[in-house]
Amino acid sequence: MMNDTINLIMTGRKKRRLRFILVTSLLAVTALALCCTMLMLGNTIYPVQDVIRVLMGEKVQGATFTVGTLRFPRMVAGLFAGFAFGAAGAVFQTMLRNPLANPNVIGITAGSSAAAVFCIVVLHASNTVVSIASIIGGLAAVLVIFLLSKGSSFSIGRLILIGIGIQAMLDAVISYLLLIGRENDLPAAMRWLSGSLNGAKMETLYPLIIAVLFFTPVLIGLGKRLDMLELGEEAASSLGVDTDKTRLALIISSVLIIALATAATGPIAFVAFLSGPIAKRLTGAGFSPIIPAGLTGIILVLASDLVGQFAFTARYPVGVITGILGAPYLIYLLIRMNRKGDL
């Protein structure tokens, strides 16, 4: 009887692992296909062989500039920003055990946005200064949120409520800055706030690329501890997890890549919010959601950018399309949580 139970458990575990590997592989293939489509598709459609030749460094008339200078940086921005938003959003949702606990809702991206808009409309600063300010703003926002939510013990509900309050306050600051800003500065500020891959340049993307390549292994390495944190504070501590240090390492890593992604593309709406739940629904429970959520973030950003560019008569920033996708899910989630008594 005991052997039958063990065999049943092992069989279930193998099936879950196979499902996780298969789904993650399909997400990776889909993300790769979208990357190729981003490079091929535009006012002029280039064949795969021309794109490959350009990427290999060959000179191809017309394609060298269009693919190498315009489309490739745009694709790279969507690739790394999408992964950063998706992975970091999943970390926050898992760590804080609440689907609302993502950087878009609890004020982190709003901190980056407020700092960037201030630099654009008040200081008239360069793109480099705007990017640095947005990183500092995101880090400052998360520091304020955690300081204000720190009581005698860590409280997820308190952190989320304070984060939502900070988000509302920063949104008001952004509205005021837009109100007093010069008319010439408003288009740049609004384009940044909407979340866009337009005008992406490789030289501005290197910090994001380095951060994602460095911190993703850190997050994966902390994956088992992250899963234990999802069980609750007491359960994780009883399993030998230093909850404070683990949470600090996860927060620093996640906030840095979120802030750098926001600096590169602006706050692309709802990608951090949607990626984790979609990835978990596809892969099932029992495995770290970081890589699947990151791949889902890539797919959401690249697919939404293609829709925004080519599905309508006018062209829309990627953040407009992701906002259209994410808003109904947020309403649904709030209604479901209210019925369960989680709000």
Query: Which residues lie below 8 Å from residue 9, measured CB to CB, with a gap of 6+?
Result: none
- Using alpha carbons, select from 105, 35, 19 the residue that is nearest to residue 298: 35
Q: How far apart are CA 121 and CA 274, in angstroms?
A: 31
Q: 12 in a domain, yes or no?
A: no
Domain that holds residue 144: 19-64+74-340
Higher per-residue confidence, 230 vs 204:
204
Q: DSSP of 75-89, one letter per residue?
A: HHHHHHHHHHHHHHH
> Could you give the angle at which helices 290-310 and 271-283 cross, rounded to 10 degrees?
120
Longest CA–CA span in the chain (Å) reads 77
Q: How far apart are CA 41 and CA 268, in angstroms?
A: 22
SS3 162: helix
Q: How far apart are CA 245 and CA 251, in angstroms?
A: 10
Name the band, by pLDDT with cuts 50, 70 and 90, for residue 32.
Answer: very high
- Using alpha carbons, select from 308, 300, 319 the residue that is nearest to residue 82: 300
Name the band, by pLDDT with cuts 50, 70 and 90, for residue 153.
Answer: low
Name the band, by pLDDT with cuts 50, 70 and 90, for residue 27.
Answer: very high
Q: For residue 284, what is the domain's CATH number?
A: 1.10.3470.10
Query: Which residues lie below 8 Å from residue 40, measured CB to CB, with a gap of 6+?
Result: 46, 47, 48, 51
pLDDT tens-digit map of 79-135 = 999 999 999 999 988 887 777 777 777 777 888 888 888 988 888 887 778 878 888
pLDDT at 200: 85
Name the band, by pLDDT with cuts 50, 70 and 90, for residue 30.
Answer: very high
Of the segments 7-16, 75-84, 198-207, 319-328, which one has the largest average pLDDT value? 75-84
- Kindly calculate the radius of gyration of the chain based on its CA atoms and give it in whole angstroms: 21
Higher per-residue confidence, 45 vs 12:
45
Q: How far apart are CA 36 and CA 25, in angstroms?
A: 17
- Can you tell me the mean pLDDT for 134-143? 85
What's the whole-number average pLDDT of the chain? 84
Task: Indicate if the pLDDT at residue 57 is higher than 70.
Answer: yes
pLDDT at 22: 93
Higher per-residue confidence, 239 vs 86:
86
- Using alpha carbons, select from 249, 263, 170 the residue that is nearest to residue 210: 263
Q: How far apart are CA 201 and CA 340, in angstroms?
A: 46
pLDDT at 151: 64
SS3 337: helix
pLDDT at 87: 94
Higher per-residue confidence, 15 vs 338:
15
Angle ∠(180,260,158) on CA atoms, nearest 5: 75
pLDDT at 83: 96
Q: Work out the percent of the chain whose per-residue pLDDT is above 70.
A: 91
Name the band, by pLDDT with cuts 50, 70 and 90, for residue 198.
Answer: confident
Q: 174 in a domain, yes or no?
A: yes
Of the segments 92-101, 148-157, 320-329, which one has the largest average pLDDT value? 320-329
Q: 5 in a domain, yes or no?
A: no
* Contact of 115 with 220, CB cutoff 8 Å: no
**Residue 120 burial (10 A CB sphere; 0-12, 13-18, 19+):** buried
Token digits of residue 229: 């944190």
Name the band, by pLDDT with cuts 50, 70 and 90, for residue 36.
Answer: very high
Q: 57 in a domain, yes or no?
A: yes
Q: 177 in a domain, yes or no?
A: yes
Q: 122 in a domain, yes or no?
A: yes
Token digits of residue 150: 């720190």
Name the band, by pLDDT with cuts 50, 70 and 90, for residue 183.
Answer: confident
Higher per-residue confidence, 342 vs 268:
268
* Contact of 81 with 208, CB cutoff 8 Å: yes
- Total domain count, the chain: 1
